Structure 1
Amino acid sequence: MVRIMVVDDHAVVRSGLMNLLHGKHGLEVVGEAADGDEALAKAEELKPDVVLMDLSMPHGKDGLTATGELKKQLPDTSVLILTMHDDEEYLFRAIHAGASGYILKSAPHEELLTAIQYVAAGNAYLYPSATKRLMSDYLDKIKNGDNAGTFESLSEREKEILAKVAQGYSNKEIAEQLIISVKTVESHKSNLMDKLDLKTRPDLVKYAMKKGLLNFD
């Protein structure tokens, strides 16, 4: 039996999903939550196999934040994102947060059941058009000599420092702006350049331009 918890801020959506899933194909709905904070508390108590997680929840923690914290709290629990956002940025962020799958609310019921079974078995699941998009993006990056997936591997702080270095700020200026030490800036800079396999500042600037990070406003 696969034990599932449903997380969505709309009570009608939660009720519909619970009625759809409970008792189907060896699935058992063991709990529900209306926001990320409640999801974390309930997951700690119920230890579900799969958490079906909405992204946009206006109250409490959003789905991305809750996913990241839940995976630290319960690494053996799989998170399947169920959302209306057919957006590459959300997809990458969800995967980076630790989600095992990403499916749209517009998907057929059978596809949702399949996705739950996939992630419950320890596999990854992406809706078909997302898989095509990721493969296309991967092939484009290979063609352009860009290491696929490396930008997504950067932390938010590393991305921030990448942009500022490319804009010409010195380590000291970056440290003052971000209220961190120069040594910390140097460490982040070294790490991000290693991850991106960049050797010089001109290489870094070119990379930042490709990623649209050179905003001087």
Structure 2
Amino acid sequence: MTLVSVVEDHPLFRAALARVVEELPGVEAGPVAGSVEEFLAYRAAAGGVVLLDLHLPGLQGAAAVLALSAAGHRPLIVSAQSGQADVLAALAAGARGYLTKSADAAEVGSAVRQVADGGTFVSATLAAFLLDSAGRRHAGPRLTLTPREREVLALLAEGERDVDIAEALVISVRTVRSHLDRIREKTGHRRRSELTRFAIGEGLLARRVAA
């Protein structure tokens, strides 16, 4: 079962989010805390999903994401009024996706499942942020990834497994892994989470959403 915890300083919303987590199938409810420091004091098992507000007492924003990621957790942002810069900084620090506080239980459940499976949850709001960020980015030296490598990387960033990428692109799993090996050599990133952040920074997910 996936351990899902909540870090939110607003008591009413924290309780409501905790109830949503308790009702999700295939989920074990983890610690519920009002700050990152309080959550880390519980010493929850690494590998779980943490629903995280960005504006908290103590550690907050990208620093909060870094602290949770360093402890082996998978932060999933749930925030009401975070600006584009805050959200993109959190993603660069290791957040696995972004939800607004208007998300319903079904969307929370979908996001939790994708993050628990090693993917990234791209909500409509996050997609808009990514598209805008890609449009504002200045041209400059870029790594030379082939069109096929960029397709493979984009699908990986969406949380697809090697076998799913192979099926989507009508190539063999062995070929997918060869592409991934070359992507790792070119980017210097080894982990799928690092490659996901790289893909976001390159605007690959933004272009797939636009398409």
TM-score (norm 1): 0.59
Equivalent position amino acid for 1:47 in 2: A
The letter for the 2-side match of 1:128 is A
Q: Deviations over 1:7-39 (max 9, x none)?
A: 011222121111112142212212111112112
Match of 1:55 in 2: 54
CA distance in 2, matches of 1:27, 1:112: 12
Higher relative contact order (CA 8 A, sep 6+): 2
**8 Å Cα contact 1:36-1:63 kept in structure 2:** no
The letter of the residue matching 1:145 is A
Q: 1:136-147 residue pairs with structure 2 within 5 A? A: 136-139=132-135, 141=137, 145-146=139-140
Deviation (angstroms), 1:40 = 2.0
User: Share of identical aligned residues, percent?
Assistant: 27
Letter in 2 for 1:55: L
Is contact 2:46–2:71 with CA below 8 Å preserved after alignment? Answer: no
Helix, strand or coil at the partner of 1:123: coil
Query: Aligned pair count?
Result: 142
Q: Given the alignment, which residue of 68, 71, 89 partners 1:70?
A: 68
Structure 1 residue 55: deviation in Å?
0.8
Counterparts in 2 of 1:78 and 1:130: CA distance versus 1, 3 Å: same
**Deviation per CA, 1:92-140, whole angstroms, max 9, x where unpaired?**
1111111111111012221111111111110011211321331343255
Q: In the superposition, relative to structure 1, how do residues 19 and 72 fare at CA in structure 2: closer, same or farther (>3 Å)? A: same
**Partner AA of 1:50 in structure 2:** V
- SS of 2:62's equivalent in the other structure is helix
Distance in 2 (alpha carbons) for counterparts of 1:96 and 1:38: 24
Q: How far did 1:63 drift? A: 4.3
Task: Indicate if the aligned counterparts of 1:5 and 1:48 stay in contact, CA closer than 8 A.
Answer: no
Equivalent positions of 1:1-217 (< 5 A) are 1-42=1-42, 44-47=43-46, 49-57=48-56, 59-74=57-72, 77-139=73-135, 141=137, 145-146=139-140
The 3 A distance-change label for structure 1 pair 118 and 60 is same
2:54 aligned counterpart, secondary structure: coil
Displacement of 1:48: 5.5
What is the CA deviation profile of residues 50-102 of structure 1, one whole-angstrom value per residue up to 9, with x for unaligned ones? 01111111x3222432210121121xx21101001252101111111111111
- Cα gap change, 1:128/1:73 in structure 2, threshold over 3 Å: closer, same or farther? same
Q: 1:47 Cα shift?
A: 3.3
The TM-score with structure 2 as length reference comes to 0.60
The one-letter amino acid paired with 1:71 is: S
From the CA coordinates, give the structure whose radius of gyration is larger: 1
The whole-number CA distance in structure 1 between the counterparts of 2:129 and 2:47 is 31
**Which sections of structure 1, spanning at least 5 residues, go unmatched?**
149-217
1 CA distance for matches of 2:129 and 2:92? 17
Query: What is the RMSD computed on CA atoms of the aligned residues?
Result: 2.1
Secondary structure of the 1:28 match is: strand
SS in 2 for 1:79: strand
Change (3 A) 1:48 1:38: farther
